[in-house]
Amino acid sequence: MKEFLLTDSDFKEVAHLVYNACGIVLGEHKREMVYSRLARRIRERKLTNFSSYLDYLKNHKDQEFDAFINAITTNLTSFFREIHHFEFIKEQFIPAMLKANKHNKRVRIWSAGCSTGEEPYSLAMTLQGAFPSDWDVKILATDLDSNVLAKAQSGIYTAANVNGLDDALLKRWFLTSKDGQSYKVKPKLQQCISFKRLNLLQDWPMKGPFDLILCRNVVIYFDKETKDQLFNRYADILNNQGYLFLGHSETMGKEHVLFKNLGKTMYQKVAHANTI
C-alpha cells in the first residue's frame, strides 16, 4: 500500500495545472512519476494525501507553485549531448555566421530548456576562439525550473557530471577542487552566457533575433497544438535562415513550411519566412 492516496481526480487536477502552466502533457503513463515527484512535497509540507496537497497549493500558490512545477519537470542532460549538433556548429554554423554576420559582427544563440547548464557551457566551449575578438557573441540560457537554473549559474559539477569530457577541456575550462570531486566552470566561459528563468508558453522579454535556437528534449512533453505554436514563435524570433535544433526523439512535421529539415533533428528557417 502506498504512503499517500492519489485518486483519479487528483491526478487529473495535477495534469490540468501542469498543462496550463507550462504546456507539458501528463498522460496516464506518467502517473507513477507524478506520485514519486510530488510525494516529496507532501512529506515536506507535512500533509496526508494528494488532495490536501492540492488544497494547500491552491491556498499558497505564491509559496508553493514554483516548487510544484520544479518537482514535475524532468531535467536530464550532459556535456556535448548529441554530439552531431556540436559538430554541425563547428563545421557549418560558425563558418556561415562569419560570412553572413560580418556586417554587424554579432551572434546570438538561445539554449531554451538549458536545465543544469551543460548545454550552454558546451556551446560556449565550442564557440570560444572561433570568432575574432571584436565580435559580440552571446548565449541566452533559459529554463522553467529555478532549482536547475541555480545549479547552472553556479557552474559547479561533480566528477560524475564531467565524466566523458576529455582532459584537455577539463584543464582549459574548469577549476578542480582539492579532492578532485568537484569542478567549477572558469569565469571566462561563463562571461558570454546569461541565465534567465523563462516559461516558454508565456511572453518572451527578449526581442532577438537569434541565429540559433536549441530546444532539445523539451517539446516531447507538449501536445501538437502547443508544439506548432512554439515552432511558429521560434521562426518569428530567428534571423532569416537561422537554425533550430530539437532533441533526438523530437521531429517537426512536414506541414511546417517555415523550416526546412537538415537531418538529425536540425532545421533551418526558410528565408523571409514568418507567421504574420
Q: Which runs of E-coded beta strand occur in 58-201?
A: 106-112, 136-143, 156-158, 174-176, 182-185, 193-197
Cα angle value 117/119/120 (rounded, 5°): 70
143 is catalytic: yes
DSSP-derived 3-state class of residue 95: helix
Q: What is the 3-state secondary structure (H, E, C) of 217-272?
A: CCHHHECHHHHHHHHHHHHHHEEEEEEEEECCCCCCCCCCCCEEEEECCEEEECCC
| Catalytic position from the list 37, 45, 106, 233 | 37
User: Phi and psi at residue 41, in whole multiples of 5°?
Assistant: -65, -40
Q: Cβ(139)–Cβ(123) under 8 Å? A: yes
CA distance 246 to 109: 14
43 is catalytic: no
| Catalytic position from the list 41, 108, 143, 145 | 143
CA distance 182 to 189: 17
Closest by CA to 106, choosing from 255, 227, 210, is 210
Instruction: Tell me which residues are annotated as active site.
Output: 37, 143
